[in-house]
Structure 1
Amino acid sequence: MSHEAIRQFDYHVWANNRVFEHVKQLPEEVYAAEVQSVFPSVAAVMEHLYVRDELWLAVILGEDKDLIGLVNSLTEEVKGLTAEELEKRYAEVAGRYRDFIASDQDLDKIMTITHPRFGSMNAPVSGLVQHVVNHGTYHRGNVTAILRQQGHPGIPTDYIIFLYGQFN
């Protein structure tokens, strides 16, 4: 089992939790306020992240063959949820990732995955987990930009800050 893949996933959960805790301390309207940016709101970014975390877990587990249908249905389910409601859903999907990891799966196992636009490829499960982490890091940066546009600071979620918390 890839120890680093587990640490990376723990970082992803930690960083998402920091964003939710930060956003919940700001005025309530900030979460859904629309701005001109890559995403129209903090809520839209966090919804996107949640849906993709669910998507990639379904891919890893081989659970859903209609991935476009899954993305569409999940996107509708979470649209308009409060930060608290979406945070609960994040905790549930993080728990399912952790259950998978704890089930002593071989995270270096090679999987064949098919993307509707990019075609098929072979990749280790740990690489797919790493993609989830990288995707989250990228979009948490969008959240910071949107918050700054509204006159509010972001919250640091750099990996090094996570590591300092782990080893100090």
Structure 2
Amino acid sequence: MKTIQKMYEHLNWANQRILETLQSMEDENQEVCRLFSHILFAEKVWITRLRGLDSSQLPIWSEVDLAVCAELVRQNEESVTTFLTNLDSTDLDKIISYTNSKGNEFKNSVREILTHVALHGHYHRGQINSRLRSDGMEPINMDFITFVR
């Protein structure tokens, strides 16, 4: 549980760093904003599923502005923190049934889902940094080791 908790503290920290960087830019980069909002929407979908609620009407990809991203960062951090606070280590192997955005049913453990969400965000944060670099900006340091230092 401590490792998962630390992974999500890092996830929240990384999301906040991206948000602050994007808010400080003169022009809003639509592709970067789209990738960032995808991370946030996916987090929302998965936490909804983990809570046993229907996620079928929630978007995975959507064109939104930074104000919406800022609200999603806040909501997701609150939701995940509450979920993890109430999660016992014995709950990690509980199986969650859910339907994905294409209507297919799946079953995964809480542990698998939490790991997926943390890794999924890392992948797309790397894409964001790649886009920022190609636009002549310094990539955002979101390394886990930087976070724990």
How high is the TM-score relative to the length of structure 2? 0.84
Check whether the contact 1:113–1:120 (CA below 8 A) recurs between aligned residues: yes
Give the Cα–Cα distance (whole angstroms) in 1 for the partners of residues 18 and 144 of structure 2. Answer: 14
Runs of 4 or more, structure 1, over 3 Å off, are: 112-122
| Matching residue of 1:32 | 29
SS at structure 1 position matched to 2:137: coil
Check whether the contact 1:9–1:130 (CA below 8 A) recurs between aligned residues: no
Count how many residue pairs are aligned between Structure 1 and Structure 2.
147
Give how far 1:153 is off: 0.9
SS at structure 2 position matched to 1:71: coil
Give the Cα–Cα distance (whole angstroms) in 2 for the partners of residues 16 and 157 of structure 1. Answer: 9
1:103 aligns with 2:86: yes
1:105-127 alpha-carbon deviations (Å, 9 max, x no partner)? 42332323444669555432122
SS at structure 2 position matched to 1:45: helix
Give the Cα–Cα distance (whole angstroms) in 1 for the partners of residues 58 and 106 of structure 2. Answer: 21
| Matching residue of 1:56 | 46
Matched AA of 1:96: S
1:22 aligns with 2:10: no
Give the Cα–Cα distance (whole angstroms) in 1 for the partners of residues 100 and 25 of structure 2. Answer: 38
SS at structure 1 position matched to 2:81: helix
Between Structure 1 and Structure 2, whose CA radius of gyration is higher?
A: 1
RMSD: 2.3
Matched AA of 1:21: E
Give how far 1:147 is off: 0.8
Gaps of 5+ in 1: 34-40
Check whether the contact 1:55–1:70 (CA below 8 A) recurs between aligned residues: yes
Identity of aligned pairs, percent? Answer: 23
| Matching residue of 1:38 | none
1:89 aligns with 2:72: yes
- Distance change in 2, residues 1:110/1:3 (3 Å): farther
How high is the TM-score relative to the length of structure 1? 0.76
Give the Cα–Cα distance (whole angstroms) in 1 for the partners of residues 74 and 92 of structure 2. Answer: 21
